[in-house]
Structures are given as C-alpha cells and as structure tokens.
Chain A
Amino acid sequence: MGRLVFSSVSRKFNNFQALLDVNFEVENGEFVCLLGPSGCGKTTILRLAAGLVAPDEGIISLDGKKIDGVNKECGFVFQEYALFPWRTVKENIEFGPQVKGMTKTECESISKHYIDLVGLNGFENHYPNELSGGMKQRVGIARAYANNPKLLLMDEPFGALDAQTRNLMQGELLRIWETEHISVLFVTHSVDEAVYLGDRVIVMSARPGKVKDIFDVKLTRPRIRTGPEANIIRDSVLKSLSTQIKLASHEYI
C-alpha cells in the first residue's frame, strides 16, 4: 500500500514548461528523496501527488488509483511548517480527524498517540508561536501522520533548521517512519540528507523539469553519514546534480 506512480507527467504554468514527461515511482513503504536545482519543479511534483494541481498530460496514481482532485490519502509536510497558528499543538494534530467527523475521544486518542510518537509530551497546549522550529516540524509530521496517510509528501521539511537540529530531526523522522512504515517522497536541497535518508535518490534537471538520474542507496540503517559507501554514492549524486546546477545557472547568466 502506498505505491505512487508518475507516468509521462507534464505541466505548464502559463507558457512555462515546469515539468516535461516525468516518469518515476515510489514503491510501497519506500523512502524516496527528490533532489534538483531550484525551480526545477520539485514542489510541483509534490503538489501534483497531493492533487492540489492537476497534470496537463500523463497520469499520476496511488495504489493504481488515478489521482483526481485533492488526494486525501497523503500527508503533506511543508517547509515553513504551515501550522494553524490559532490551534494548539494538540488541536493542530486533531485537525484531520476532526474534519473527518471523528468523535472527541477518538481525536484525543489519536493526538495523544502522535504526541507521544514525535516526543512533544508537555507541549500539547502550546501554540505554534511558542515552539522552536524543530518542535514545529514535529507537529507538522504528527499532523500529517494523524490523518493515517498511505504516502507522506515532505517539501524541504528541515530546510529552515540549523545543522544540528536538522541532523537530530532526520534521525527522529527515520525513527517515526520505522514505527509506522509508509511511503515517503522527500524533497531536499541537501545531498547529504538525501543519501542519509533515502532508499533511492532521484535527481532532476531543470527547464523543463525532468527526471535525470535515479540512484539506489542500498545501505542498512542506521547509516553512518561518513561511511565509505555513503561517500561513493554522495559523490555520484553530487556529480549528477552539479552539471544540472551549472546548466540551470547558465541560463540566468
């Protein structure tokens, strides 16, 4: 459960070809990282998968079902958290269950479970503006999980965090993911992060956005960030990416 397939997906914005003939899949329970130069359409891919935008051409499907309209079986985690500022931690996590019409006790048991899981005990009644960035993103992850999704879509979720918190949160994410195993499509700008987290790393090229290379990261977890195998993979990903970045930046010069 949770198999996401993009086949020949293209999308234009006005006259700008953002994505052209994108093909890839996220296998059931797989953790896939998406890398690429800025503006190559990573966010657009996540929004397509969530059904927030529709493709011009091609088909996107989740577990064989074509995505048409908002995809309610996915959880979206945003870079800038996008928490409801007027809701407490607990209320943010309960949003999904609430709009699905669950009873108060059901909502509470769900939020309690995920507050435990992401380690926010004692902060249930805090408002987002009273939390640190790392804590906010824990809420973001818990809120997405609370909706019981088959697929987690994460758009540079740790991009705004400092390096230390970022490493810590990567470990936390893996811990959570290992407890409740679902497919993840994870957008990042960091090759280190991609190689540390992903089962596979997809590198995209820009203008128009296309899938360029796909790397398998067949390393057992917990991984050692500076292990020799990791270094080799990182090198090849970097190489693939840097040509892309050069190409992309060339157009601006």
Chain B
Amino acid sequence: MKFETGKRGLLINILSLIVFTLVWQILVILARNDIFNIPFIRLRDIPTPVETWYALAGSMFTRIYGPSFTYGIINHVYASLVRVIEGGIIAFIIGVPVGIGVGYSKFLGNLFNPIIEIVRNMPPMAWIPLSVFIFVSGGSIFIVFIGVVFPIILNTIQGVKSTDTRLIDAAKTLGASESMIVKKVVIPSALPSIMTGLRIGLGVGWMAIVAAEMVIKSPVGLGYFIWNMGDLGRYSEMVAGMIVIGVIGYIMNISILLLQRRYINWVD
C-alpha cells in the first residue's frame, strides 16, 4: 500500500472523511423527514454523526447510576486490546516456530500440512460455539489465537520458502551449520513475511474478538458493549462503539506497518 504523502495526500484524506460524514448526516436527515429512503433499510433509525459523537463522548468513561457501574468505552477498548494482545502473543510464540519448521523441513511439512490446511479453513467465528463450552475462561483469547495463528504460520512458511538459495549457499561456504543457517539466514530473511503475517493476523484477531465477545460473555469488551447497547436500543452508543472498533483496528494496522518500515528497512 502506498500513501500519497505530503499536504495534498493529507488534504484528500481529511476531505474524504468530511464528505463521508456529511453524506451520512444528510441521508439520515432526508430519511427522517420522509424525503428519501433506501428501500428495506430503516435509515431513519441510524444515529447521525452528531448523535454518535455525543454518545461517544458521554460513554467514554465509567458512569455510576445508583448501584451500577457502567463501564466506559475506554475500559471496553482496554479489555478487548488485552485479549487480542494475549491471543496474538500466544499465536506468535506458536505460529513462528511451526511456520519455520514446516517451511524448512520437508518431513515436518508433510506431517503438519494436512492439519494446517484443514484447520485454517475453519474461520475463527466457527470456533466460537465450541469454545463457549470447552473453555472455563479465556475462550475469546482462544478465538483471537485462531484468527492470528494461521496468517502467521502461512506467511512464515512462505517467507522461509522464498529464502534466496544463494544466501543459504553463501552461508554454507562460510561454514554455517544447519541450525546457524536457520537462525542467521532463514529467520531474518523470513522476518518481513512474519511481520506481514502478524499484521494480517491481528486484523483478523481484532475482528474475531469482537464477534467472540458477543457470544462468549464477559463483563467488558467492545463486542459486548455494542451488543448491550443494541439490547437497550441505545443505537448512538452502539454505532460509537462500532466506529471505535474500526479506528482501533486501523491504528493497530498502521502501527505495525510503521514498525515494520522502521526496523525492517533493509528490504528494497
């Protein structure tokens, strides 16, 4: 992905957001005044950007009503992020060695490929009903794990397999043993792919966590939040939560992309 840098690019970015918000506002207002409506969609029930903004501001922090603490969006973001990071770390720790083994060794490849190929085609959401029952706690972390681990494994395999054979030859003639070659040639050369896998994986994991939190219940989490707001008919808060989900996912993606550019700057 290439960004247009400089003032012009930024201007276009901001403009597109403004136009989107305006279109949203206008469509809802037209629908509410019975001027225009898209068939089969209750446009008039969608909160306007302004209403969403107030809802976001109003539910950002924990509020107390009588005996009840209603957690703020901040808490929900934090809870979901922690789950994604925990699931992501476990997936990284397991996925990278598996990917390297399967990518480098023909034997391990033949051993694990059928399992990987079948299990990776089960989407993370398909695991939700099972994890409701088999996990005492941490079911949603498991869903994230499933979402993150396969992109990491597949990209690691791809990175390992596309290691330049001349680099391996060079290392061999320089006296490197098999394990040295894995450590000093295969892993570094697969690193950009591994990071890409992590980035894609965390994106999938972030979507999966929100779905998982809708089913695997815990007191906090963004998925739980938007589901609850829906239950209460608080659509402005619900849409605010949805937007927060999108923004956080975007920030996560960009952060890893930038980290990748900063620390893996040797890629042409």
Contacts and interface: CB of A to CB of B under 8 A. Distances in A.
A72 B266 contact: no
Given A84-B185, A85-B266, A95-B184, A72 B173 contact: yes
What 3 A-B pairs are tightest by C-beta distance, nearest first?
Answer: A96-B174, A82-B166, A76-B173
Interface of A: 47, 50, 52, 70-72, 74-76, 78, 80, 82, 84-86, 95-96, 98-100, 127-129, 143-144, 147
Contact of A78 (B166, B174, B185, B188): B166
Interface string B159-197: 000001011011111111100100011001101000000
Name the residue in A71, A84, A147 with the highest tally of chain B Cβ atoms < 10 Å from its Cβ. A84
B182 to A, nearest CB: 12
Contact of B175 (A82, A86, A96): A96
A99 B169 contact: no
A95 B166 contact: no
Contacts of B177: 99
Contacts of A144: 173
Contact of A86 (B172, B174, B191): B191
Given A84-B188, A86-B188, A99 B174 contact: yes
B169 A72 contact: no
Nearest to B181: A99
A100 B166 contact: no
A70 B188 contact: no
Nearest to A74: B173
Name the residue in B167, B170, B173, B267 with the highest tally of chain A Cβ atoms < 10 Å from its Cβ. B173
21 contacts: A50-B172, A52-B169, A52-B172, A71-B173, A72-B174, A72-B175, A76-B170, A78-B170, A80-B166, A82-B166, A82-B170, A84-B188, A86-B189, A86-B191, A86-B264, A95-B184, A96-B175, A99-B177, A128-B266, A129-B266, A143-B174
Given A70-B173, A72-B173, A127-B266, A82 B180 contact: no
Interface of B: 164, 166-167, 169-177, 180, 184-185, 188-189, 191, 264-268
Contacts of B164: 82
A129 to B, nearest CB: 5
A52 B189 CA distance: 21
A70 B174 CA distance: 9
A235 B72 CA distance: 87
Nearest to B183: A99
A85 B176 contact: no
Contacts of B188: 84, 86
Given A84-B185, A128-B266, A99 B171 contact: yes
Nearest to B173: A76
B180 A99 contact: yes
A74 B170 CA distance: 11
A147 B177 CA distance: 15
B156 to A, nearest CB: 16
A71 B172 CA distance: 8
Contacts of A128: 266
A74 B172 CA distance: 10
B173 A129 contact: no
